Structure 1
Amino acid sequence: MNNRISLFDPIVSNDSQILILGSIPGNKSLEQQQYYANPRNCFWKLIFELFNENFTTDYRERVSLLKRYHIALWDIIDSCERSSSLDKDIKNENYNFSILNFLEEHPTIKVIFCNGKKSFKLLNKIFPENSNISIISLPSTSSAHAVPYDNKKREWSVIKDYIK
């Protein structure tokens, strides 16, 4: 297996207050060069519902919504080998150490929400313990994570508490 993939550039604005951190883009996202492009992943549906916005599949509008609500989006894995879109198939990963500089460059970010256990586990391996940035693990929005949508939405709603 030598199917090495890499992360996308972050979505961020100068006034981002939170960072949502995934693992690395799935196959559909890589094909379309868009975060969470697989329609079975509920990320976008969830974000739009949390902020009572009308859902759209237009990627520019999706990115605009994140920026409007001061949300940055990125991944914890810089590159890896993976035979499918599943996190369990990730091998030989290189961490996204640039995240530490990124947070220094965006001091308005005070909390990181990890989209799933993989990003949470990997972030905790490289993140300084004395940081003033909170790290919160949320259930994965992937359809492979078999938790009812309403449960995911309930847990993800905590995001609104961190946006001013």
Structure 2
Amino acid sequence: MGNPVVIGFAPLADATASVLVLGSLPSVASVLVGQYYGHPRNAFWPIMGRLFGFDATAQYSERCAALQAAGVAVWDVAAQAQRPGSLDAAIRAPTVQPTDLDGLLRRCPGIGHVFFNGGAAATLFRRHHPADTDIRQLPATRLPSTSPAHASLRFEQKLTAWQVVRDRVQSS
């Protein structure tokens, strides 16, 4: 089977975004359904739905529109990388091709804060986005992963931690 190359999605963002949530790279389940956080047990959409008042079980296009209307952009740190399976720990660091986060900032100049969906996203960001880039000048916060693989926290604990995203959007 080797080390398959996983190719990420286009950013979910528009010019009104005030925060950016960065993941690492889409999971196998996400790639199969062509959706950010597409694994049925990933807590991302239920958390965002609770924070921003939309139905987390709505059609994907409706959830994306609701998130964009709330001022939240979503993308990944890696545009592509070799990774067997879905675990972030299996991402082969030398194969990571980073996304153009500075380009995203030019298209979405209102983004004023970066939130990492878990430690792997934060680590990949530090490794693959140089300190002198515009994106690295923004405040950044690591949040607990919404992945079902990160089972050390219950949903309510993750929801509480992620409330800082809503707070930051509301203060923008």
TM over 0.5: yes
Deviation at 1:97, TM superposition (A): 4.4
Q: Secondary structure at the match of 1:13?
A: coil
The SS at the match of 1:163 is helix
Equivalent of residue 93 in structure 1, options 92, 95, 110: 95
Name 2:68's counterpart in structure 1: 67
- 16-25 or 75-84, which deviates more: 75-84
Give the RMSD, CA atoms, in angstroms. 1.6
**1:127 positional shift:** 4.4
Query: Given the two structures, how large is their TM-score scaled by the length of structure 2?
Result: 0.89
Question: Is the deviation greater in 123-132 or in 8-17?
Answer: 123-132
Counterpart of 1:160?
166
After TM superposition, the structure 1 stretch with the greater mean CA deviation from structure 2, 122-131 or 18-27, is 122-131
Structure number with the higher strand fraction is: 1
Task: State the partner residue of 1:145.
Answer: 150
Which residue of the partner structure matches residue 24 of structure 1?
25
Opposite residue 102 of structure 1, the aligned amino acid is L
Q: Residue in 1 aligned with 2:110?
A: 108
Q: Within 1, Cα distance between the matches of 2:130 and 2:72?
A: 20
CA-to-partner distance for each residue in 1:114-157, whole Å, 9 max, x for gaps? 00001111212314368541111000000100111111111000
User: How far did 1:94 drift?
Assistant: 1.7
The aligned length equals 164
Bigger fraction of residues in helix: 2
In the alignment, structure 2 segments of 5+ residues that lack a partner are: none
Give % identity: 31
Residues 18 and 162 in structure 1, CA contact (< 8 A), matched pair in contact too: yes
- Normalised by the length of structure 1, the TM-score is 0.93
Give the counterpart letter for 1:22 in structure 2: G
Deviates more, 1:88-97 or 1:118-127: 88-97
**Mapped partners of 2:115, 2:22: distance in 1:** 6
Q: For residue 105 of structure 1, report the CA deviation from its aligned partner.
A: 2.8
Letter paired with 1:148:
R
Distance in 1, matches of 2:55 and 2:6, equals 32
Q: Is the 8 A contact 1:70 1:163 kept in 2?
A: yes
Relative to structure 1, the CA distance from residue 37 to residue 57 in structure 2 (aligned partners, 3 Å threshold; closer, same or farther) is farther
- Runs of 5+ in structure 1 lacking a partner? none
Determine the C-alpha separation between the residues in 2 that align with 1:163 and 1:95: 29
Match of 2:101, as an amino acid? I
Question: For the residues of structure 1 that align with 2:49 and 2:71, how far apart are their CA atoms?
Answer: 14
Supply the AA of the counterpart residue of 1:48: G
Q: Work out the CA distance in 2 between the residues paired with 1:89 and 1:54.
A: 32
How many Å separate the matches in 2 of 1:54 and 1:153? 15
- Is 125-134 or 78-87 further displaced after alignment? 125-134
CA contact (8 A) 1:25 1:36 kept: yes
Please say if residues 55 and 63 of structure 2, whose CA atoms lie closer than 8 Å, have aligned partners that are also in contact. Answer: no
Are 1:133 and 2:138 counterparts? yes
